[in-house]
Chains A and B, each alone.
Chain A
């Protein structure tokens, strides 16, 4: 690897990291504005034009807030938990192909890596719930634990259909395989399971069991304040972006789309399509949150094991059967 390649790699990482940070910050604003719109409200529009400075104001506020640590907290784990959540969330981006030529790494087992890292992120929540030394976070941590195990499984199985179609674990090659047909058409069952499990994976409504404010106050981050609280928040929003990007890459054809900016700017068009698809998935998440009531914990578990998992398995069998007999 030459020096230039190393520099380019570092630059790419920095660019992606910075863009992701910014995107995450503005996702909070977008979500608040959209939910406000769904609910006949105005939303935050005071800080800067259209409220555009709001995320920065929020960030500054959280940075300067006083930190409160519960007396009974297990300090080391208590500090570790938000870091795990955040690092796991950011690490996933490293294997996602944004356009054909712009990605950080093309790993040949990228999907396994993604699943493994996102599972690690769950530790953040469980440990936070455990180490806070408080009852609400504890209950929340237990819920998170059970929820993750059941939904991760469905998520993993949903992806296997795509892997069978593409014949590879590399995300880059999966996108290349969708040149003619996006996988969400043949894999519609897998796509639906993936989206639902993805919502559950990111702890969003209607699966926001671990942090449902009406029952558990704020769930696992009840006892967190200031920047540590912000890190959970950050992690959650990056996870949403991650699921959006994964859905795009696995099912929605990644960067593929008409070269709307002319033949010379194919790369730009690719980027545009990738971002548009990701945003569409994220919008779907926000929409869900504004519309649906919340599941109850046991119902959510039943739904995961009795509905999603069999569906995902069925999808695998069908895909494998077609693969085996037709080709």
Chain B
């Protein structure tokens, strides 16, 4: 039963992955349905996609969401990478356990609490709510995910390379950009993508922290879903799913190629001796 897939293992994998993927596949299929009744097949059509292009509110919301996601993912990647470096490399300092607590707690904290507390902070700061408050809120919870992803990359690599650079008189900042960053780069990219999709996806925190004029796409989808399932929503969802799938596959191909390139470089470097 150990070696090779058994009948039981294959069945559980097939059933498990069908459970994970079937709902999404059905959603995609029914976005191409001619009929307005979303659960009755009425022939192939792309008319719902054409209709999306005329829905200005939806397009506006999509544009807001993309901008928020891009900016918050970038900021979160910078702060999250710093936090990961602190966790792995900074040794002991006063308040270290508080720091690691603050990095890990948002990962499991219910979104309603995060959203409510950030909203009350922005109110206390007398901050007008809108685009910027959503962006700051997303940066805060996404940086914790980035920190975890980058941390796992940092733990795995040989610190002696950094130490060698510093012994040879390389200033710390340069060591970081020339040695550490290139090595952890796949982790940083994965962190950015995770932050981007988390922001693209978030409904609860955005609903609490947004203001007039900054309705995000998930908020728009949510308000329409409450009224019922429609083929337009299926079409929007299909576009988002396609977007993310292409992004993830592209990123994994890029990291794979980088990894192969580095292995070739290392072999070449050692072979030269």
Do A and B interact with each other, yes or no?
no
Interfacial residues, chain A to chain B (CB-CB below 8 A): none
